[in-house]
Structure 1
Amino acid sequence: MNIINIEQLVLQDESDTLEFKKSTSKLKEAAQTICAFANCKGGTVLIGVTPDLKIIGQEITDSTQQKIATIRQLFEPNIPLNIEFIAINNTHKIIVIHVIYTQLHPPYLFDGRAYKRVNSTTQRMPATSYQELLDLKRKEHVSNWEDFFTDKTDLYLLDHNLIKQTISIGIEANRIPGAAINESIEDILTNRLNVLKSGKLTNAAIILFGKEDSFVKPQVFIKMARFMGNDKLGNIADNQQIYGNMFYILDRAQKFIAQHVPTRSYFKHDQYERIDKYILPVLAIREAIINALCHQDYSNAYSDPEVALAIYNNRLEIWNSGKLCPGITINDLKKSHASVRRNPNIAMVFYYRNLIEKWGTGTLKIMDLCREHNVPEPEFVEEFHGITIRMPFADPISSQLTYESELTSRQKEILVILGVQKSCSAQQLLSQISDNITARTLQRELKQLSYMGMIASSGGSKNIIWLINK
Structure 2
Amino acid sequence: MGVMALAQIIERLRSQGTDDATYEAKSCTVGLSKDVWETVSAFANTRGGTLLLGVNEADGFTPVPDFPIDRVCDQFVSGIGDGGSRSVLENPPEYQIEREILDGRPVLVIYVDELPAAQKPCFIRARGIQGGGYKRVDDKDIRLSPNELYAIQSVTAVDASDRAPVDGASVDDLDEAVCEVLFSRALMLSPRSMRGADSIDERLKRLNLTNSQGDVVRAGLLVAGKYPQQFFPKLAVDIAAHIGTSKGGSGSLRFRDRVVCEGTIGEMIEDAVHAVAKNLKRRSTVSSLGRSDELEIPELVLREAVTNALVHRSYNPRFDGEAVSVDIFDDRVELTNPGGLWGKSWGDLADGRSCCRNATLMKLLSLVPLPSGAGAPAEGNGTGILLMMAEMEKRGLRPPEFYPAIDHFKVILWRPSERASAGSRVDFASDVSGIEQSLGEHSELSINELAKQNGLSLSQARRRVRELIAQGRIEATAAPTSRNRKYRLCR
Q: TM-score normalized by structure 1?
A: 0.48
- Relative contact order higher in (CA < 8 Å, ≥ 6 apart): 2
Q: TM-score normalized by structure 2?
A: 0.46
